[in-house]
Amino acid sequence: MAGLPVAITLLAVVAGCADRENDLDTYYDDRPAGGEAADSGDANGGGSEESAESTQGQREGHGAAPERAEPPVPARSSAMLTDDDVRAEGVTPVAPSSVTGDPAAPTCLTTIAGSPGAAEVDERAWTYPTGSTLHHLVTRYAERPAAEVLAEQVACGGEEIPVSGAPEGLDTHAWCQVGTCTVAIAAEDVLSTVEVRAAEPASAREAIDRLAPAAVAKHT
């Protein structure tokens, strides 16, 4: 009979265990069901919101158009040579784009045309019966004197030649390089550039000598 109390005790223990679910999670995880998922969801939810805001900010930043300098406004200038002014040259009007030089060897006029800060621009061109070209560019600058542009922005090569008939107060320069001769006239905020391109250097020099006084007279 000595073993009877032990047997009764074991039966009581077994009966107590039989009433509980056989769920191992209840032994190892005392956290409320869904607690970890909720925490993870909060973390991911917050991250997603921040990521969305960051992405939206990046899109807004990339979507903003960068500021661009306003292009010069085409405008007819009183300093521009007219057909009457060049009639004695025997030239025919053409589109300025048809007389552009070699981009690999830019002329003085091309260099001036590419200088920044132009507010207004006027441009005309003509051709000679021989195929030579006459190109005139007049540029007005809004924020600095034209003489400054001529001195700092233009690098013309070749031989510098004199400009006759220029009155005091006008800054004039002229150059000849191979078959291209150019005269540039700076007066206040206006820069006038006349260019002749010819197969023969002597022809270009003679033409620019004839045209320079007419271009200078536009500023007097």
Q: State yes or no: pLDDT of 66 exceeds 90.
A: no
What local confidence, expressed as pLDDT, does residue 129 receive? 97
DSSP state, residue 88:
G
CA separation for the pair 149, 162 (Å, rounded): 20
What local confidence, expressed as pLDDT, does residue 107 receive? 80
Number of CB atoms found within 10 A of residue 65's CB: 5
Mean pLDDT lowest for which of 17-26, 47-56, 135-144, 183-192? 17-26
Contacting residues for 202 by C-beta, under 8 A, at least 6 apart: none
> Which of the pair, 50 or 156, is modelled with greater confidence?
156
pLDDT band at 104 (very low <50, low <70, confident <90, very high): low
% of the chain at pLDDT higher than 90: 37
What local confidence, expressed as pLDDT, does residue 82 receive? 96
What local confidence, expressed as pLDDT, does residue 116 receive? 80
pLDDT band at 198 (very low <50, low <70, confident <90, very high): very high
Number of CB atoms found within 10 A of residue 117's CB: 14
Number of CB atoms found within 10 A of residue 31's CB: 9
What local confidence, expressed as pLDDT, does residue 155 receive? 59
What local confidence, expressed as pLDDT, does residue 72 receive? 59
pLDDT band at 135 (very low <50, low <70, confident <90, very high): very high
195: nearest Cα among 131, 146, 136, 114 = 136
What local confidence, expressed as pLDDT, does residue 192 receive? 94
CA separation for the pair 183, 212 (Å, rounded): 7
Q: State yes or no: pLDDT of 43 exceeds 50.
A: no
Burial (0-12, 13-18, 19+ Cβ within 10 Å), 181: buried
CA separation for the pair 129, 199 (Å, rounded): 12
What DSSP string describes 103-157? TTS--HHHHHHT-S-EEEEEEEEEE-TTS-EEEEEEEEESSS-HHHHHHHT----
Contacting residues for 130 by C-beta, under 8 A, at least 6 apart: 198, 199, 203
What local confidence, expressed as pLDDT, does residue 14 receive? 38
CA separation for the pair 55, 32 (Å, rounded): 35
Burial (0-12, 13-18, 19+ Cβ within 10 Å), 184: buried
Q: State yes or no: pLDDT of 126 exceeds 70.
A: yes
128: nearest Cα among 210, 218, 207 = 207
What local confidence, expressed as pLDDT, does residue 68 receive? 52
In the chain, domain spans:
4-63, 73-217
CA separation for the pair 18, 10 (Å, rounded): 12
